[in-house]
Amino acid sequence: MAARNGRTVTVTLPPFGGAGLLGMPDGTPGGIVLFAHGSGSSRLSPRNNFVARELQQAGLATLLFDLLTEDEAASRACVFDIALLADRLSHAARWAAMAAETSDLPLGYFGASTGAAAALVAAAQAGNVVRAVVSRGGRPDLAGAALPAVAAPTLLIVGGADVDVLALNEAARRRMRCECRLEVVPGATHLFEEPGALDAVVALARAWFLHHLAGQTGEVRHAVP
């Protein structure tokens, strides 16, 4: 499916309305994926935008937006306030549930770094409303006590060379009770900058979301070197 360029929308995140990029595929979307970026990133993240375009090509809608204002993003306390980030993500999900183009679409979260923890906390609070979560180089450990309460099938993607984060993901997976899978991209570091690494992330995330949001059959293939 060919994807249209994302258009700018205003996402209501009380107490402010932030700019977002809503990308829609041609035809009827099989679901919508909301992106929760990590510290030092934004809706303009080239990595997340690359993933979003690939998901659009696969028939999924995507929404990228900023969880924090510019002033908040400059505050370390806000950047690592997982409860605040999760609350903003939940508000964005409510916005998507009310928007005409996306109101009836199955919902998934794609989180990176601290955004992955926010996605898991928000998913735990939403119960079965969130159908799938994917974490890219995330810090699921920061979701803390919310981990056993997550009901959404969760895919944790970590670079093989990102040793410390890999250990944190393994520990978080052991605390989760939902369907949870850990995929390691061999040789990849935290930002998946190595040739082919981000492509492996896309392939894994696309298959996970298509299966759990759009109901397409087929296994999530393991990452290849």
| CATH number corresponding to 7-212 | 3.40.50.1820
What is the strand order of the sheet 180-185 is part of? 7-13, 16-23, 61-65, 32-36, 107-112, 130-136, 154-159, 180-185
The confidence band for 81, taking pLDDT boundaries of 50, 70 and 90, is very high
| Domain boundary assignment for the chain | 7-212
The confidence band for 219, taking pLDDT boundaries of 50, 70 and 90, is low
The confidence band for 39, taking pLDDT boundaries of 50, 70 and 90, is low
How much of the chain exceeds pLDDT 90, in percent? 74
First-residue to last-residue Cα distance in the chain: 27
Position 2 pLDDT exceeds 90: no
Position 192 pLDDT exceeds 50: yes
The confidence band for 4, taking pLDDT boundaries of 50, 70 and 90, is very low
Using an 8 Å Cβ cutoff, are 108 and 32 in contact? yes
Position 222 pLDDT exceeds 80: no
**pLDDT tens digits along 84-122:** 999 999 999 999 999 999 999 999 999 999 999 999 999
Using an 8 Å Cβ cutoff, are 25 and 59 in contact? yes
Mean pLDDT across the stretch 113-140? 96
Position 218 pLDDT exceeds 80: no
